[in-house]
Amino acid sequence: MKLCIALDLPSKEENLQLAKNISGLSTDIWLKVGFRSYIRDGVKFVKELQNLGFKIFLDLKLYDIPNTMADASEEIAKMGVDMFNIHASAGRVAMKTIMDRLSKYKKRPLVLAVTVLTSFDEKNFEEIYELPIATKANEFAKMSYEEGLDGVVCSAYESLDIKEITNDSFITLTPGIRPFGEDRGDQKRVADIDFATKAKVNFIVVGRPIYKSGNPKKVVEKIIQKLKEKK
Ligand code: C5P
């Protein structure tokens, strides 16, 4: 299981400071660049993080018509990031168009689909989809697998079922991780490292438990140590 840190701090300087602070700890830490920092700091910021030796997950959750999504995916591939995501609800045609378009790249990024946002609870989710979260998450995962995506973004609670209906090598990346049971914030379905390990999660995403702590470096060290023990 790998650690992916969400860089959601209020300024570029703070995000870079965090990245630099932990850059010596492990060669296997991924950084997640999301809306906030990408909108503000753009490609240049991504390059700076790459130059520090990190693998980058560009979390822009693309959602549009298939051709527009495929165009954007190509631009992302050209940036040289290692992983990005789309919303599974964009549908099968969008998935297929993206994967076809990326197939010409020798080294393409991993493509994940967001199944159900981890901030949803059953009541709010049902208002939109009229289905239980787990049912829809599994449907989205199956579709993503069938269309050749590399994996899905889901909650740790869905990971095991998704592996069963797809394949063990189909990636699950799970936000809403509170490594040692920290405060959940706005996340509804949170899990700790022990739970994620049992659920065969491939990537845990951790944001606030790291950057809101008094000592982010120490928390990252503790997480890495725990992940090593779980190997
Ligand atoms: O601070 P926290 O650990 O809750 O951060 C989780 C990160 O994962 C945030 O950047 C959030 O945008 C992202 N995310 C999520 N749920 C998803 C997909 C991404 O929380 N389904």
Kindly report, residue by residue over 62-78, the tens digit of the pLDDT: 999 999 999 999 999 99
Ligand 1 contact via 213 beta carbon (within 6 Å): no
Cβ atoms of residues 135 and 116 within 8 Å: no
pTM of the model: 0.94
| C-alpha of residue 192 to centroid of ligand 1, in Å | 14
> Beta partners for 174?
204
Residue 26's pLDDT is 86
Cβ atoms of residues 223 and 179 within 8 Å: yes
Kindly report, residue by residue over 138-175, the tens digit of the pLDDT: 999 999 999 999 999 999 999 999 999 999 999 999 99
Sign, Cα dihedral of 145, 129, 184, 39: positive
| C-alpha of residue 205 to centroid of ligand 1, in Å | 7
- Please give the mean pLDDT across all residues of the chain: 96
Domain hosting residue 220, numbered range: 2-230
Nearest-atom number in ligand 1 for the CA of 176 is 4
CATH number of the structural domain spanning residue 41: 3.20.20.70
Sign, Cα dihedral of 129, 134, 138, 144: positive
Residue 219's pLDDT is 98
Q: Which of the four pLDDT bands, split at 50, 70 and 90, describes residue 118? A: confident
Kindly report, residue by residue over 19-30, the tens digit of the pLDDT: 999 999 988 999
pLDDT at 186 over 90: no
Q: How many domains does the chain have?
A: 1
Instruction: For residues 196 and 70, give the distance between their C-alpha atoms in angstroms, rounded to a whole number.
Output: 32
Ligand 1 contact via 179 beta carbon (within 6 Å): no
Q: Is-catalytic flag, 218? A: no
Strand, coil or helix: what is 130? coil
Kindly report, residue by residue over 12-64, the tens digit of the pLDDT: 999 999 999 999 998 899 999 999 999 999 999 999 999 999 999 999 999 99
Average pLDDT for residues 205-217, to the nearest whole number? Answer: 96
Q: How many CB atoms lie within 10 A of CB 133?
A: 24
Q: Which residue in 2, 61, 142, 226 is the catalytic one? A: 61
| C-alpha of residue 32 to centroid of ligand 1, in Å | 9
